[in-house]
Chain A
């Protein structure tokens, strides 16, 4: 048998479902070798195995470890530049992560709810006053997280076009390595300048908080700028794609959309957000790890120096955990999903993502109840080549 290549292709006409080959492997070969950029790596497709391994310290998130399966085929930079804490192991990972955990606490995020509601309402006002049809991605899905994360970090929103362009280039898998390097360089330079400004004139925002750490000698200025790039990127693309792809999925499931349109119960909305996170799996290229010490699983040995890929898209469709997993069912309890990953690297920004999605999903369809696609489903361009899955545009009308 030839080793299958990863990532795999989704079935034509099934934009929300993971590739059928992943489903076959999950049923028959829960642990299998795949080929990625000419090298082999282990592919782990079952939910329980994924959680077990993601919590195992014998797996490393350090992109510089031998065997780490690069998602782009490019070797990591040995000097460590541009490697945020998501690509590090403890204790360094934990030290850096803990410097930015406080602004993402449930209580502090919850205190932002009224502000986020105001942003969302304002954008919907603009939407209703503007052209119809309109591209929901440009007019709504991107500006929501953009405005929110800029406010949280303390980035002037006037610069958001610059960010969106560069972050787009940075996460497009088909971009040339030089293009990606240039985009990263642009963002790093911008953030470095901003950190410089905040060192002189701190305000009440996350970046200013990091400059306190720089002054105290706990963090270099370069690391502070790098963390800014990481949080800005993570805050932009993920939530934007959840908003646009989630809206498309709901438009394709009118009975489920009705649940959100008709409820004013925050618990129902919160549950719906969890189910959409489970169902859509926008981070569809798998968590990546390198094996540090041999691990036995299902009669195989994952050897030190091997690479491991743990795709949450198929993990979240494991029928042993979620009954009828391919059904979008906003009333199910989906809280155990691994859309934010699992283990010590689980998404730091998840309380913020949840808040934004709860506000968006509970507002958009109630305020624009006739919202619908303006083009055929076959005309919607999907981000098959993106590190984050979603749609490049979503023309809508009402």
Chain B
């Protein structure tokens, strides 16, 4: 599973962090999404798909 984020699209809503805090973080100065690992373990798949689904800016793409 590969996770791709688009920081230019991100609106810093923090929804992804709420869904999977071990995969996504927010940059200190402006809250823009930071990926903690671009190859997260399979067992995190449900939460990561949830993060992509609730992202209001469609800034997260998951490739299975």
- Asked whether, in the complex, the Cβ of A97 is within 8 Å of the Cβ of B19, the reply is no
| Complex alpha-carbon distance, A94 and B12, angstroms | 10
Q: Give me the interface of A with B, judged by CB distance under 8 Å.
A: 54-55, 94, 97-98, 101-102, 104-107, 109, 335-336, 340-344, 346-348, 350-351, 354
Quick one: CB contact mask for B1-45 with A, threshold 8 Å, 1 for yes? 000000001011111011101000010111110000000000000
Q: Which of A54, A105, A341 contacts B12 (CB 8 A)?
A: A105
Q: Which of B9, B15, B30, B56 contacts A102 (CB 8 A)?
A: B30
A336-B53, A346-B56 as given contacts; A106 in contact with B30, CB under 8 Å: no
A10 to chain B, nearest CB (A): 27
- Asked whether, in the complex, the Cβ of A347 is within 8 Å of the Cβ of B50, the reply is no
| Complex alpha-carbon distance, A350 and B14, angstroms | 9
- Asked whether, in the complex, the Cβ of B56 is within 8 Å of the Cβ of A98, the reply is no
Q: What residue of chain B has the Cβ atom nearest to residue A270's Cβ?
A: B18
| Complex alpha-carbon distance, A393 and B22, angstroms | 42
Q: What residue of chain B has the Cβ atom nearest to residue A93's Cβ?
A: B11
6 tightest A-B CB contacts, nearest first: A346-B56, A101-B12, A101-B31, A106-B14, A105-B31, A106-B17
- Asked whether, in the complex, the Cβ of A98 is within 8 Å of the Cβ of B12, the reply is yes
- Asked whether, in the complex, the Cβ of A98 is within 8 Å of the Cβ of B58, the reply is no
- Asked whether, in the complex, the Cβ of A346 is within 8 Å of the Cβ of B13, the reply is yes
A335-B19, A341-B56 as given contacts; A346 in contact with B11, CB under 8 Å: yes
| Complex alpha-carbon distance, A350 and B13, angstroms | 7
| Complex alpha-carbon distance, A126 and B43, angstroms | 47
- Asked whether, in the complex, the Cβ of B54 is within 8 Å of the Cβ of A98, the reply is no
A102-B28, A102-B29 as given contacts; A335 in contact with B14, CB under 8 Å: no
- Asked whether, in the complex, the Cβ of B53 is within 8 Å of the Cβ of A104, the reply is no
What 11 additional pairs, Cβ within 8 angstroms, besides A102-B31, A107-B26?
Answer: A98-B30, A101-B31, A104-B12, A104-B14, A105-B12, A335-B54, A336-B53, A336-B54, A343-B56, A343-B57, A351-B13
Query: Which of B19, B50, B53, B57 has the most A CB atoms < 10 Å from its CB?
Result: B57
Q: Which of A106, A342, A348 contacts B26 (CB 8 A)?
A: A106
A18 to chain B, nearest CB (A): 22
| Complex alpha-carbon distance, A55 and B21, angstroms | 24
| Complex alpha-carbon distance, A346 and B28, angstroms | 20
Q: What residue of chain A has the Cβ atom nearest to residue B13's Cβ?
A: A346
User: Could you name 28 residue pairs across A and B whose Cβ atoms are closer than 8 Å?
Assistant: A55-B57, A97-B11, A98-B30, A98-B32, A101-B11, A101-B32, A104-B12, A104-B14, A105-B12, A105-B28, A105-B31, A106-B14, A106-B17, A106-B26, A336-B53, A336-B54, A340-B13, A341-B56, A342-B56, A344-B56, A346-B11, A346-B56, A347-B13, A348-B11, A348-B12, A350-B13, A350-B14, A351-B14
B60 to chain A, nearest CB (A): 13
| Complex alpha-carbon distance, A109 and B26, angstroms | 12
Q: What residue of chain B has the Cβ atom nearest to residue A337's Cβ?
A: B54
Query: Which of A55, A104, A106, A350 has the most B CB atoms < 10 Å from its CB?
Result: A106
